[in-house]
Structure 1
């Protein structure tokens, strides 16, 4: 894997290259609010609308597609179904025979049949991550 820290970045401040992801801005009750991607447990898409579930137990309805929202997220987020994107950090249990992920907060998310093997492999390896 290549790292690009040795290259010069003219006219761009160094703090803009941090590992943190910019918060997602949404409209809620007529006011713009920002949601940190780290606080999102999963997102559920329904057509041109998306429900965002947070670790605080809140549910937000956004008039954006699941695909457009998932483009702004980190690699911790996994597309497990046509209608679901989950944050791997909040997966508590995987029920393989039922194709269900139990999320933090008690919610359950379906895994598509075609992605079951891939998701199982990703989640099994996610427990071996080393963080500095």
Structure 2
């Protein structure tokens, strides 16, 4: 099953995007905005905070930092020395200090 998410990008809900969540590598929270970074194409910026989407995401998405949610399918490796996750697109995502133990345990023993 390919989960889809319909998101309003503005407060008036005039502009909406629907896309396959399988193509989303990660979400970035930037103040009160959320950026959906996809495998291909331009990122989608919405005017909602990151926490708004957490309950609507499938279980393969995990919050690793207050500003970052990653799709586990696109994790290349975990650097436990530098406390970050290396994604398949080459970006390095920090792991929050308080979440390190539980995230490392979850990633070494996947679903």
- Same fold by TM (over 0.5)? yes
Question: Is it true that 1:41 corresponds to 2:25 in the alignment?
Answer: yes
Q: TM-score when scaled to structure 1?
A: 0.73
TM-score (norm 2): 0.85
Report the structure number with the largest CA radius of gyration.
1
Higher share in strand? 2
Q: 4+ residue stretches of structure 1 with deviation over 4 A?
A: none
Q: How does 1:71-82 map to 2 (within 5 A)?
A: 71-82=55-66
Which residues of structure 2 form unaligned runs of 5+?
none
Report the secondary structure of 1:25's partner residue. Answer: strand
- Kept in 2: contact 1:27–1:33 (CA 8 A): yes
Q: Distance in 2 between matches of 1:103 and 1:97?
A: 16
> Counterparts of 1:74 and 1:63 in 2: how far apart (Å)?
21
Which residue number in structure 1 is paired with residue 89 of structure 2? Answer: 105
Distance in 2 of aligned mates of 1:93 and 1:27: 32
User: Size of the alignment, in residue pairs?
Assistant: 108
* Contact preservation (8 Å) 2:64, 2:94: yes
Contact 2:26 2:71 in 1 (8 A): yes
Unaligned ranges ≥5, structure 1: 1-18
CA-atom RMSD, angstroms?
2.0
Cα distance, 1:32 vs. partner? 3.1
User: Whole-Å Cα distance in 2 between the matches of residues 54 and 101 of structure 1?
Assistant: 17
| Distance (Å, rounded) in 1 between the aligned partners of 2:60 and 2:97 | 21
